[in-house]
């Protein structure tokens, strides 16, 4: 039987983000390549998150148009899998690719890794009509059921739900045996203000007097909007020098060691869709304190695998950290529940099987 031909038009690292990392997992998947005839167009516009507009971007866009056109003619895919940028100039850029897909009458699967479509469509009739045009007679994948609300005004079909997943790490021990003299609280994210770094520092500030002998915090991530010197200044302003340590970006085994030795992950993001770092923590049996943002309330079961807090609420974060500080048994129990949920729902194998199922269902409907 002939394999379904799928053209992957995807953004891959660099830069390293949750969306580009998931795309890399798809591109590298042996399970997907066994089930489908895959062709890949790797789309990369910038080397890092901080990089702004450069003239060579225009040449890259022209090149990707040529590659897309060539593959539509020579490969003749049944399905094009496209990670669409949902907002702003990037969305308008991606609409120029969609034009080719419409002209060749190729069924497109838009995998949405961002949000804000609902708000943008309400503010602008032009954007609303463009969304409707792009999505018409095509399929959409949303990361969670909660996020389907973002497209209700521009898409009349039933979107597919596909949770993200990450590879199983064989270095993770089932039972956490690290016994720290202090409870280690981890902030693991690029230094971007919208990731809630200042709220994190404020929450530690609220705890430092009552728990000065019991807490230690680590900040791990790339300098993006905030530099190391700016972060250290924020730490100094709050007199947290003896409580908070900045370790910079960590990868591979270095990151594994940090996760393994950490007791709590705090992810107080202000604008997010998913947050792969939550899955990383869950895999290591770490309970998570995170904001009610994007799909996070579907990932973190409040009071079971961690705690949910409101955005811009360092007082709530501090209160939840305090619960864990006062109850080691509860902290361990929630960490085990988090790991169990990861193994059941958020491994890369589960993700791959679900994506295969989506492609097969779409292919069947197209016949």
Domain boundaries, the chain: 4-165+347-366, 183-345
Bridge-based pairing of strands 288-291 and 215-220 is unpaired
CB-neighbour burial class of residue 258 (10 A; exposed 0-12, middle 13-18, buried 19+): middle
CATH superfamily of 4-165+347-366: Glycogen Phosphorylase B; (3.40.50.2000)
CA distance 72 to 101: 8
Using an 8 Å Cβ cutoff, are 20 and 13 in contact? yes
Using an 8 Å Cβ cutoff, are 182 and 216 in contact? yes
Q: What pLDDT is stored for residue 40 in this prediction?
A: 98
Q: What pLDDT is stored for residue 179 in this prediction?
A: 64
- DSSP assignment string, 75-110: T--SEEEE----SHHHHHHHHHHHHHHHHTT-EEEE
Other residues' Cβ atoms within 10 Å of the Cβ of residue 239: 10
CA distance 138 to 159: 10
Distance of CA 86 to the CA centre of its chain: 15
Helix (H, G, I), strand (E, B) or coil at 357: helix
CA distance 307 to 313: 13
CA distance 314 to 207: 10
Q: Enumerate residues 6+ apart whose C-beta is below 8 A from 72.
A: 7, 100, 101, 104, 106
Q: What pLDDT is stored for residue 181 in this prediction?
A: 82
Q: What pLDDT is stored for residue 51 in this prediction?
A: 56
Q: What pLDDT is stored for residue 248 in this prediction?
A: 97
CATH topology of domain 183-345: Rossmann fold (3.40.50)
Other residues' Cβ atoms within 10 Å of the Cβ of residue 201: 21
DSSP state for residue 146 in the 8-state scheme = G
Nearest Cα residue to 286 out of 272, 311, 307: 307
Question: What's the maximum distance between 2 C-alpha atoms anywhere in the chain?
Answer: 68
* pLDDT in 10s for each residue of the chain, 367 residues: 789 999 999 999 988 889 999 999 999 999 999 999 999 999 998 766 665 556 788 999 999 999 999 999 999 999 999 999 999 999 999 999 999 999 999 999 999 999 999 999 999 999 999 999 999 999 999 999 999 999 999 999 999 999 999 999 887 865 655 567 899 999 999 999 999 999 999 999 999 999 999 999 999 999 999 999 999 999 999 999 999 999 999 999 999 999 999 999 999 999 999 999 999 999 999 999 999 999 999 999 999 999 999 999 999 999 999 999 999 999 999 999 999 999 999 999 999 999 999 999 999 998 7
Q: What pLDDT is stored for residue 57 in this prediction?
A: 87
- Rounded to two decimals, the pTM is 0.93
Per-residue b or e along 160-175, where b marks 16 or more CB atoms closer than 10 Å to that residue's CB: bbbbbbbeeeeebeee
Give the CA distances from residue 263 to residues 156, 183, 258, 260, 296, in Å, rounded to whole numbers and listed in that order. Answer: 44, 6, 10, 8, 20
What are the E-state strand segments in the chain? 4-11, 36-43, 79-82, 107-111, 139-142, 160-161, 183-188, 215-220, 244-248, 264-267, 288-291, 306-309
Phi-psi region of 136 (alpha: psi -120 to 50; beta: other; left: phi over 0): beta
pLDDT in tens, 20-44: 999 999 999 999 999 999 999 999 9
Q: What pLDDT is stored for residue 48 in this prediction?
A: 65
Compute φ and ψ for 298, nearest 5 degrees. Answer: -85, -25
Using an 8 Å Cβ cutoff, are 89 and 117 in contact? no
In this chain, the answer to whether the domains covering 4-165+347-366 and 183-345 adopt an identical fold is: yes
What are 291's strand-pairing partners? 309
């Amino acid at each position: 039987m002939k394999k379904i031909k799928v053209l992957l038009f995807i953004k891959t690292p660099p830069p390293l983000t949750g969306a580009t990392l998931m795309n890399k997992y798809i591109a590298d998947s042996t399970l997907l390549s066994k089930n489908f005839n895959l062709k890949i167009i790797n789309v990369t516009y910038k080397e890092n998150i901080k990089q702004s507009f450069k003239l060579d971007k225009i040449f890259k866009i022209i090149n990707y148009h040529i590659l897309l056109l060539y593959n539509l003619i020579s490969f003749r895919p049944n399905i094009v899998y496209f990670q669409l940028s949902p907002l702003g100039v990037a969305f308008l850029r991606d609409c120029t690719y969609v034009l080719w897909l419409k002209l060749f009458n190729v069924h497109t699967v838009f995998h949405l890794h961002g949000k804000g479509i609902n708000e943008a469509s309400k503010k602008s009739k032009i954007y609303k009509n463009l969304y409707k045009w792009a999505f018409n007679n095509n399929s959409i994948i949303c990361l969670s059921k909660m996020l389907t609300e973002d497209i209700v005004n521009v898409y009349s079909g039933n979107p597919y739900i596909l949770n993200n997943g990450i590879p199983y790490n064989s270095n993770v021990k089932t039972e956490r045996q690290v016994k720290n003299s202090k409870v280690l609280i981890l902030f693991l994210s690029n230094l971007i203000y919208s990731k809630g770094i200042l709220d994190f520092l404020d929450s530690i500030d609220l705890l430092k007097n009552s728990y000065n002998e019991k807490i230690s915090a680590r900040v791990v991530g790339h300098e993006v909007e905030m530099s190391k010197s700016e972060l250290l200044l924020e730490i100094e302003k709050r007199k947290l020098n003896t409580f908070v340590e900045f370790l910079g970006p960590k990868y591979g085994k270095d990151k594994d060691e940090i996760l393994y030795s950490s007791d709590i992950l705090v992810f107080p993001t202000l604008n997010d869709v998913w947050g792969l770092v939550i899955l990383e923590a869950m895999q290591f049996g770490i309970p998570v304190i995170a904001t009610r943002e994007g799909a996070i309330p579907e990932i973190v079961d409040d009071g079971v695998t961690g705690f949910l807090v409101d955005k811009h609420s360092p007082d709530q974060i501090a209160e939840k950290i305090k619960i864990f500080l006062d109850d080691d048994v509860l902290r361990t129990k929630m960490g085990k529940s988090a790991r169990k949920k990861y193994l059941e729902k958020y491994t890369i194998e589960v993700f791959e099987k679900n994506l295969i199922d989506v492609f097969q269902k779409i292919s069947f409907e197209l016949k």
